Structure formats: structure tokens, C-alpha cells
Structure 1
Amino acid sequence: MSRIGVLRIRSQMGTWRVKDIDGAMTVRELMDRVATEKSLSLSENERLCASPSGSDPLPLDAGLASLNVKHGDMLYIMLTEENQVAHEEAKAPRKVDADGNVRAQEYADGAGRRGFRPGMLPLRAMKMQWTLTDFLDMDARFVFKMKRQEDAACAGVDMETNVARDFQQALRQTAFQQCRVGYLYGTFTDDNKVKVKCLYEPPQRGTAVDVELLEDPREDTVEKLAALLGLRRVGWIFGHPPREEGFHFASPEVFMAAEQQLEAAGGIGDTPFVTIKVTCNAEGLASVEGFQVSKQCMEMVAEGALEIGENPGDCAVNETFTAIVEGKEAKEVNNNFFLINVAISQYEADDMVYSFPVANREELGTTQGQPDLRAQIESAGKQGWCVAQNLTLTRSLSLTLNPKP
């Protein structure tokens, strides 16, 4: 079989010249050689093609000569992002580490120098030709000019009195020295208000600093029960020990609020979904406040522009992004910048039962059992919870979730 000589392989990483090609070589063997020389791990979807569109992959077991491949021909391959990074690492310059060993410089070591932005590929790896407009548009996607949002999307919160009181009581059992969270269920009104009717506390392990949410085998059941009762998740509530003045949210709490709002809005958009914060002051008096995070905060969390940094009162800015605060680049953004106050009022529901023990409070000494269920059923009397013509129905999730007969 005749000798072909040199072939050119075009990918997002540029054009490679592969020498000493024999016509008897198969497409599979050529791909194996390219993978070896360029430190790639090619998947079955990364195939050599005759055209740039990638619509005509070459048969893997066909010989190059039988495909009329000639010296100097150009073949094409579309690489995955993982292989693009692997190739960048393979061709990186050498460096001497702290132990005196010579090794290849890692991709992250040189990304800030060669990449479009730290942690990103070089411009040429994204596409071969750039205009100034292309560059500026691309760069603008990674720059956030910080702006305060004056008005919340939530017009206010009507909080059922027993829900607020019961959550405070759980915090008082630990003298407000343990963080705790719960999900609020109720309805959104036509005027963008939230009406909170009940609370569900998932399994959790709280400390004086944060809360670890544990696996909840009843998570789907809670959502289905809420839907059957005409309720939905309308917010979340968290409690924490007293903090220094002006320190309202720690970074994980900002992230939680943003992620919950993103889920409720189905993306970066307006939603009444609310965050309720409960704590106490130096005199032991409890405070209950409502908040939302800004849409800019939602966008930055969704894009990965924010990170949890060393200072709990600030969100760190990911090195790939730029945050401009008052005309200057900032590596951190104070959490208060993202917060918008939401007014809270309280009411007493006439269709709720709150005397049944709350679920998932075993570490606080609260348990649920058959005696509790029996007492709750007996308290309803012969009429049950459907009273006269008012058709008043119990909507206690803790009671409905109780698995005991």
C-alpha cells in the first residue's frame, strides 16, 4: 500500500500535523495515534470527519487509502471540553516543584496567563477569529456592576402566629445557641404576597455556626401532601445565635436564599418566595424578619460568580468573574448588599391544628407516637375537623406525615 505522508487534523485547539502516515493505516489507528500524541482520551462521539460540519464521520475500520485520503488532506474532529483541557495541560511548560522535581505545569498554573480569564480556555481555543465587538460582548458576560435592589418582588408576608411561635420555641430549647432551618408552606396571593400556613423541618444537625441538612426519605411525600392540601413551598426560615450588629446573613444563607428563589422562579426572575430569619438580641428578646435576595444575587449564584469565602459576612467573587463595587473591582461583596427587607404581619388561621408534635425534633427531645396521634384524633370529637358549614380542615403536615396507625 502506498505511503500517504502528512495529514492535517483540525480541532478547536488548532491544526495538528501528523507525519509518516501509511495508506494501510485505518481511521481507528489514526485516531489512536492522535490521542497518544496529544494526550487525549477520545470517546465514541469524538470521530474524525471529512468535513468541518462533522456530519460525515469516517468508518473506523476503513483504510485511509481506500477513503482516497491523500498527502496534505485536512480531517476534522470536534473535541469535548475535557479533552481541550487535557490537551492544554499536556503542552504546558515544565516547572520545578518545591521538592526539586521537574514536572509539567498544571493547566490552572498557566490559565490566568493564557486563558481569556482565569480558569478559562484561551480565546483561540473557543473560536479562531474574534472581532472587538465579539471580545467586548464576551467579556461583559463575566463583569457584574453591583447595584442595590430597592424593592422586593414579595409585597409582604402574612405569617401564621403559631408557626412563628413554635419555631422560636425550638430555638429557645437550645437558648438560641444552635442554628435551625425549616420550609414554609402556604400560598402566593395575586398581589405578590406570601401567606404562610405551616412549617416542615427536615432532618438536620445544627451547630452554633451552621446547619447540615441530612437525607430526608420523606421529602417527596411532603411536597405531594402539600399539593393535595392546596399548599406549596413559599419560603424558608432559619434561626441562629445572636450575631454582631449589622451581620444578618452568612454566606451559606445567602446561597440558600438565592437557590431557593431560583427554584421557585424557574430561573432568574421575580418570585414572592421569602426568607424568614429568627434570632434574639442581647436581652433574649426574639426578632423575626423577612428578606429576599436581589435578582443580581440570583444571577451571580446561578452563573457561579459567587463563592463561600473565609469571611462569613461576605461572598467571595470567583476569579473568573469581576465584581465592580462603587467603581472599583472587589474580591468580596458584603452580604447585606444583596438583601431586601420584606414586611411581616401575623394572623391566626382558623383551619389549622398545631398541637401535634413537630417532626424531626428528636435531638430536642420531641418525639411522635401513637399516644400523640390518639390524643389528636380524640380532640376532634364526633365532628372531626370538618366543622359545620365552614368545612374547616386540619392542615398540619406533622400530623399528616405521622406513619403510626
Structure 2
Amino acid sequence: MAMMIRVRSRDGFERVSIPNPNLTIAELKSQIESQLHVPISNQTLSVNQNLLLAKTLDARSQFTDMANPRTLISSLNIGHGSLIYLYYDGEREIATPRSARVTPAGSFGKKMTMDDLIAKQMRVTRQEQPHCEMVSFDRDAANNFQLYVNETLAFGVKRGGFMYGRVDDDGKVEVDFIYEPPQLGKEDRLFLLRDSEEEKIVDAIASGLGMKRVGFIFTQSVGQEKDNYTMSGFEVAQAVELHAESGLKEWVTALVKLEVNEDGGPDVHFEAFQMSDMCVRLFKEDWFDLEGGEPKEGEEIDPKVSKMKKEVVVGGKDVKEVDNDFFLVVVKIADHQGPLQSSFPIENRNVAVTTKALRAHLDRTKSLPFVKRISDFHLLLAVARYLDLNADVPALTECVLSQRPVPEGYQLLIESMASA
């Protein structure tokens, strides 16, 4: 019985048909050569996605799980619908689905317009290197974000937030806190109900702490798993809009989702990307067909692609639909213990943050120096709503940044808020 295996390479997701599940690695490579036009000698295969980050031969040689040509793929639990990763060097002709083929602009009998000429300059290829060398998450901030989605929302709807931190000279991004704006999450959509006044306070706090907005983080719902894609067209459009708005070349988009582990249990999984330079350019120049993303009656949307208003060149073909993976540049992930606590209730969730929460927090941390007790972004946000944005917030955040004693006047003010 014929089966299908998904193959992800730098070119995105592709599919390979195999005659049965009892193929050897050598026979699978032969099928990949035949169907995807990648020579056997140029293939490195693995079930580990980190293969796509291995840029040197020595690094790729560490991925040995699919190195033995006589190994049966069934012994690696590779079967119908399984996903494997392919690394290859050089260029190849990428097969385009027949439904996506169009007559190339400028072909015989058709007059080439200025739009046709412009479109031919829009060549969408995989961007190999991100501008961000690595993204490191504060452990507590990342855990609090996923924990809420996991335990309260059960990954049933989407949730998002803005990541704040620092970018070092080598392009490494450190995320030290996550701000969750007002929002409405559905199974397949996330609507950010952004509050400009609240964002001004957030940015002022971040500035006082020597930080800035460095990325966007969101979750995928468990209902999206059946479609087998990294990011949907709607997610790409939202992510690239925020990336373009930031003006930061190191801007990171992080994705959190629930996956099934080897034991059949659920694991929370983080991935990080940058939207490619071409993706940002296409968005800024209004090539994305955002309105065309709404389905017509009886029409199904393919979540794996982004629609363009005009044809772009992908793999030598002129198309109006681009596989979303072409727009994603993988970023390495690490973690660290940042300078802030993350134990105060978080804004804009199901339960409103009240002065009782401030009182409880101060009581719980009373054994610590006062500056330590308030070294939490979410607490600072709750307090800053009642302070002068141009005088009080910079003074208070400077104390937190330098960890020097908080002036008595601010201590009394915060204590009085907690007692209100």
C-alpha cells in the first residue's frame, strides 16, 4: 500500500510517496532522489530538526540516526505521515504542484507589463542565516507563559505576547519578560486588542530597565495539529506585520505548541524564527493578499501557504501562493536566568490584577530588600499605572536596574497602593 512521508528541507515541506513501510534508508533515499531531485550522495537525513541548523560537514556528521543504508525505516517509527528532515548542498529544481502552475509572464503571445518585470525580481528563496545569532528565554518568563496556556486554556485557543529584553553586539537576543496585551484568542486566530496607553507604560518600564521590545511570541492550539504546518498564512501575516513594525533586524518570532513525545504524552515545545528579509519586503511593499485570505463560500483555505496579490518567482515558477516555510529562518534557542522575578500576577488574563494581589506579593516577599520585592515587570506595570510616566517610572526602574535602595517616598507610595 502506497504511503506518504513528509520531508522538510531548507525549501519547506514536501511529500514523498513510498510503496510500503518496509523500505530501507537506502531505498528511501532513492525515492527522494527520484521525486525531489536531490542526489543520494548529497542527502543527509534525520528525524531531528536540528539537522537544518548544521551548517558544516562535521556538524551534520553528528546526525547518525538515518546514516545506515540497511536500516529499515519502520524500525525508526517512520511511517505514513511521518516527518523527516533533509539537508543538501547546492541548488535543485523544485517540483511545483500542477494546480499552482501558471503561464510565465512574458511567454510567447503575451505582452510583458511593468508589473511582470517587477514580479520577476521578486524571487522567494530560503534565507539560510538569521540576523539573530540566538534567542535566550528567561526561564521563569517562558514557563509562566506556557503554563497559563497549558493549564488554564489547555492549548484550546491561541495566546500571544511581546517579548522584551536586550540584543548584544553579536546579534544574540535575550528575552527577560513577556508582556501580554489585551487580546482575543480563537482556535486558529489571535486578535491583539492593543492598548496604546498601556504599551507606552510598558515601553517606559522597559527603557528604564535597559530593555526594548525584541519579538513576538504566540501559541498554536491543539486543533491546528491536523494540518501539519509550521505557521499558517494568518500567523505569517501577523508575525511579519509586527516584525516590519519593529524596525529591528534581530526581531524574533517564537512559537509555542503542544506535541506528542516518544511515550505518547504531551510536551510543550518552543520554536524560534525570524521572518525572512524577502518576507518583510513583500509585506512592506503590499504584496500579501490579506483580504484574499478570507474563504469564499464552499472554499477551503490552505493554511500552509500565503497568498500574493501578484506573481512571485519560487523555484523557477511564477506563483501567487508561497509555502510559508520559505519565509521562516530558524533561530537557535537557549535559556537563562534573567534579572527580574516573574511571580506577580500577569496582566490581561482571566483574573484581573488588584491591589489585593499587590498586598499578597509584598507580604510573601517581606524578608527581601524592597528593591528585590518590586523587581518584577508585571508588578511594575501594575504600579506604574498610578505614577508619572516621565518622572516616577524612570526613577523607580533605575533603582531596579542598579538594585540600589528604593527611596522611602516610593516605598510608602507602593505600600499605600497595596493597602487601598
1:188 aligns with 2:167: yes
Q: Aligned letter for 1:146?
A: V
The one-letter amino acid paired with 1:316 is: K
Q: After TM superposition, give the deviation of residue 394 of structure 1 in Å.
A: 0.9
| 2-structure distance, mates of 1:383, 1:315 | 51
Alpha-carbon RMSD across the aligned residues, in angstroms, is 2.6
For the residues of structure 2 that align with 1:215 and 1:232, how far apart are their CA atoms?
Answer: 17
Q: CA deviation at 1:244?
A: 3.4
Aligned to 1:292: 274
How far, CA to CA, are the matches of 1:336 and 1:182 in structure 2?
A: 22
**Unpaired runs of at least 5, structure 1:** 1-115, 118-131
CA distance in 2, matches of 1:385, 1:193: 31
Unaligned runs of at least 5 residues, structure 2 = 1-104, 294-300, 387-416
Q: Is the contact made by 2:202 and 2:381 (CA closer than 8 Å) also made in structure 1?
A: no
- Deviating more after overlay: 240-249 vs 326-335: 240-249
- Aligned residue number for residue 315 of structure 1: 306
| Distance in 2 between residues matched to 1:174 and 1:272, nearest whole Å | 30
Corresponding residue of 2:208? 228
> Does the 8 Å CA contact 1:373/1:399 hold for their aligned counterparts?
no
**Is 1:147 matched with 2:125?**
yes
Separation in structure 2 between the aligned mates of residue 336 and residue 381 of structure 1, nearest angstrom? 50
* SS of residue matched to 1:285: strand
Alignment of 1:4-403 (within 5 A): 139-143=116-120, 144-172=122-150, 173-216=152-195, 217-242=197-222, 243-244=225-226, 246-265=228-247, 271-282=249-260, 283-308=265-290, 309=293, 310-318=301-309, 321-349=310-338, 351-362=339-350, 366-381=351-366, 384-386=369-371, 394-402=375-383, 403=385
- Residues 306 and 315, structure 1, Cα contact 8 Å, conserved in 2: yes
| AA of the residue aligned to 1:247 | Y
- The question of whether the paired residues in 1 share the 8 Å contact of 2:119 and 2:313 is answered with no
1:136 CA drift (Å): 7.8
CA distance in 2, matches of 1:276, 1:150: 18
> Do 1:222 and 1:397's aligned partners in 2 also have CA atoms closer than 8 Å?
no
Please identify the structure whose Cα radius of gyration is greater: 1
Q: Is the 8 A contact 2:227 2:303 kept in 1?
A: no
Runs of 4 or more consecutive aligned structure 1 residues displaced over 4 Å after TM superposition: 135-139
The two structures have a TM-score, normalised by structure 1, of 0.59
**What SS does the corresponding residue of 1:177 show, helix, strand or coil?**
coil
Structure with a larger share of its residues in helix:
2
TM norm structure 2: 0.57
Q: 1:314 deviation in Å? A: 0.8
Deviations 1:152-205 (A, max 9, x none): 111001100011111111111121111010000101111101000001100011
SS of equivalent residue, structure 2 residue 344: coil
Q: Is the 8 A contact 1:229 1:395 kept in 2?
A: no
- Confirm or deny: 8 A CA contact 2:306 2:323 kept in the other structure: yes
**Partners of 2:231 and 2:311 in 1: CA distance:** 22
Percent identity over the alignment is 29
> How far did 1:395 drift?
3.9
- Cα pair 1:168 1:278 within 8 Å, conserved: yes
> Where does residue 69 of structure 1 map in the other structure?
none
Label 1:377 to 1:400 Cα distance change in 2 as closer, same or farther (>3 A). farther
The one-letter code matched in structure 2 to 1:357 is: P
SS at match of 1:307: coil
Quote the Cα distance in structure 1 between the aligned partners of 2:161 and 2:241.
Answer: 15
Aligned length: 260
SS in 1 for 2:326: helix
